[in-house]
Amino acid sequence: MTRTVLLTDYAWPDDKVEREVIERAGFTLVSGPAKPAPAAEIDALAAQHHPDAILTCWAEVSAAAIAASPALKIVARLGVGLDNIDVDAATERGIWVTNVPDYCVAEVSDHAVGFAIAWARGLIHFDREVRSGRWDPASANLRRLSELTCGIAGFGRIGRATAAKMQALGCRVLAYDPHTSNAPDNIELVDFETLLASSDIVVIHAPLTPSTHHLINPDAISKMRRGSLLINVSRGGVVDTAAVIEGLASGILSGVGFDVLEDEPRVPPELIAHPGAMITPHVAFSSDASLIELRRRAAEEVVRVLSGGMPEQPRNNPRR
């Protein structure tokens, strides 16, 4: 009997890459809607098709979807974060959960550095000014990056790449990560409060977990340098949006660079109106090269497991 792979959703124009990998291996790919459907619809798709594997981008793969798929062997995330997958339910049923943790290291770190440069040099602010008919170079209040300190919260692959790029621009770099005890000699590992108090730019590269939810909250912002920049290219829930809006209003934050929001795609009007807010629509991971790599590698994990092998990037240890 042919094995079935359910692709719940996809953030690109088609499913061509996934379909090529899956069908070349002799399996059948069933694609859901491109935009992520509500959890109940994904549950229904799982109940209808009884997939042997699920590939998911943004759609929620709930305990109900997992329970509705008795032959399920693997849930593969087309991305890094696992907060849209019930990993515990999968683990309990002996199902692998995988991701592609390193496909967009260059892109996300570039995005973070891009926000920092745009803030320091006023690129977005002055572009908006000129487009509005104002030409006022005397109003510039710009910064020299090589005289600034950048603090990075979350010092994994992407955090380390951002650190290297910020150092290449001359910045002093601090890092905070409770799970990291080693760093290059030219990186200062510090506690979170020291990082906040000592940094002109704070970059969030932390995953969203119960312990990091609202890591940036009113108390954290109160400890930051006045006029600093906050960058979040990780997960929206790591940052308390209401606290950020208050931080901008008070002047503690002079700017933010957000690729993610906790209630995306809704953008609070206070952020839209603030001249220091730079917001992109969750695209830091994206480039032509990174998307092809992501899609191919996630699909190859599915093929590997359905063919009887072990996954290369397991994120759990299922009971088997």
Residues identified as active-site: 235, 264, 282
| Alpha-carbon gap, residue 146 to 157, rounded angstroms | 23
Strands (E), 243-282: 253-258, 277-279
Tokens 């040099």 locate to 121
| Alpha-carbon gap, residue 45 to 66, rounded angstroms | 11
Q: What is the β-pairing status of strands 74-77 and 28-31? A: unpaired
| DSSP per-residue string spanning 82-135 | -TTB-HHHHHHTT-EEE--TTTTHHHHHHHHHHHHHHHHHTHHHHHHHHHTT--
Cβ neighbours around 21 below 10 Å, total: 22
| Alpha-carbon gap, residue 101 to 297, rounded angstroms | 10
* Contact predicate 65/46, CB 8 Å: yes
Residue 62's alpha-carbon distances to 84, 85, 87, 221, in angstroms, are 8, 6, 9, 34
* Contact predicate 143/193, CB 8 Å: no
